[in-house]
Structure 1
């Protein structure tokens, strides 16, 4: 830009408002030009990287649902919970209590629930129970124990030892209690389990005291959250690595004959774990089942927890009826 000398006489003349405005605009333009030039040259690579990072950030953020979409999802959630509660009432027994959570992984966003639906039934009063009430996990906690073991191994930058894999297989596929005792100790008991569950997003689960892993307390919705972490397709959705998830899925897909009841009654189970426990004080049974099932092209994460059944057989029958009712409600 060329510079023009201003005569001394001209500097003393009155300047019109229009001319002042023009000068200010020219000054602003010059400042913008200087700033733009300062960002080029040596700083251009950093500037380009910043712009690329910003673009990546924008593209990685999912758009927030509009108010109408949020309202539609809330209505779908409420409708499914209502159907689920009604379904439980139709299959519940006179004495046992039930809690169920179901999540359709293939639901249309605008037609079905956007999160797991839960419902409870209390055998004590014949009415809907509290969805946040906890149940003894019995042997379904073994999935949680294995998840905790794998998270600890990931943190240590190692794979499971051959002995740990032997114990894990026996614990999940055969529900072996001796193997579970060893791995419960390996993860640090309830302390290790609770630490893992904070990472897995389980907010209503508390590890059993001492060696009593079977008396871990949990909710059906927490068990669906655990299944979601195990069967997640995207690393961003779970702290479990792809290798850890594949290992757990393989074991849960190969449950021993005679232990493949439960939520599998509602469809084809591609992952399953059941729990059963007779309470010495009452002689009544805790019967639980969790898993991933396929029905009519939909994948469902399903958890059914129960207590108060008079026998193991009646408890299994109750859990299976509840699982079938839950899927029917979710697919309606």
Structure 2
């Protein structure tokens, strides 16, 4: 398991685990960010088809939609180019058509969340707002993971049973409001014997990360002369 969390209001941040994990559907946020960066570079908005396909990909975690947009961004090379712009340094795009086998770190996904939710970002204001809207309106059966620690949330989850081991990859990341503050939280895991076991483990980790941040002293701001 790897965990990363940030309280943007105070700058408190924690990262546990530097190993890479298979993203499964978590990469769909990255795919959408890549699509939006490409549209920005071309000086245009998303087409109606791109918008509806992206909504299905994020809100319902539809795999066909992800495959279509993976092709639209140019597959792995397109994702890699976008990640250079976004500042993701430890994410390796999945081979060929296998977008779900992209590998990443918790720290990289925290960087992606910051690009989506912070005020300063390579993503335009309208691009960030679109991703936030989709992540805040996911299907009800996918309301698990980092949302366990929040009263309000915007998230994306990923889950995959590996064919060779039959063990589960369970991932969750998002923005949550809890204890009167805002947190960005990422939990990546693999090796769970069942999906339900993995979800419970991820939710415990999300709660633990937020509680750990709240118990630490905020960093001292730099003195500006």
Structure 2 length as normaliser, TM-score?
A: 0.94
Q: Secondary structure at the match of 2:141?
A: coil
> For structure 2, which runs of at least 5 residues remain unmatched after alignment?
216-225
The reply to whether residue 219 of structure 1 matches residue 116 of structure 2 is: no
Which digits, 9 at most, give the CA deviation of each residue in 1:253-304, with x for residues without a partner? 1011100100000112431000000000000000000000011221100000
Residues 200 and 229, structure 1, Cα contact 8 Å, conserved in 2: yes
Larger Rg computed on CA atoms = 1
* Residue pairs, 1:110-121, within 5 angstroms: 113=12, 116-119=13-16
Q: Match of 1:147?
A: 33
The reply to whether residue 103 of structure 1 matches residue 6 of structure 2 is: yes
- CA-based RMSD of the aligned residues comes to 0.9
Shift of 1:188: 0.5
Q: Match of 1:208?
A: 94
Shift of 1:228: 0.2
Q: How many aligned positions are there?
A: 215
Work out the CA distance in 1 between the residues paired with 2:32 and 2:83: 12
Q: Secondary structure at the match of 2:107?
A: helix
> For structure 1, which runs of at least 5 residues remain unmatched after alignment?
1-97, 120-130
Q: Match of 1:308?
A: 191
Work out the CA distance in 2 between the residues paired with 1:274 and 1:304: 10
* Residue pairs, 1:121-136, within 5 angstroms: 131-136=17-22
* Residue pairs, 1:39-188, within 5 angstroms: 98-107=1-10, 113=12, 116-119=13-16, 131-188=17-74
Work out the CA distance in 2 between the residues paired with 1:117 and 1:222: 13
Work out the CA distance in 1 between the residues paired with 2:207 and 2:2: 14
Higher percent of residues as strand: 2
Work out the CA distance in 2 between the residues paired with 1:106 and 1:245: 18
Runs of 4+ in 1 over 4 A off after TM superposition: none
Residues 269 and 291, structure 1, Cα contact 8 Å, conserved in 2: no
Work out the CA distance in 2 between the residues paired with 1:177 and 1:135: 19
Q: Against the structure 1 CA distance between its residues 309 and 202, is the aligned structure 2 distance closer, same or farther, given a 3 Å change threshold? A: same
Work out the CA distance in 1 between the residues paired with 2:165 and 2:43: 45
Which digits, 9 at most, give the CA deviation of each residue in 1:62-116, with x for residues without a partner? xxxxxxxxxxxxxxxxxxxxxxxxxxxxxxxxxxxx1000001122x6xxx3xx3
Residues 263 and 269, structure 1, Cα contact 8 Å, conserved in 2: no
* Residue pairs, 1:6-45, within 5 angstroms: none
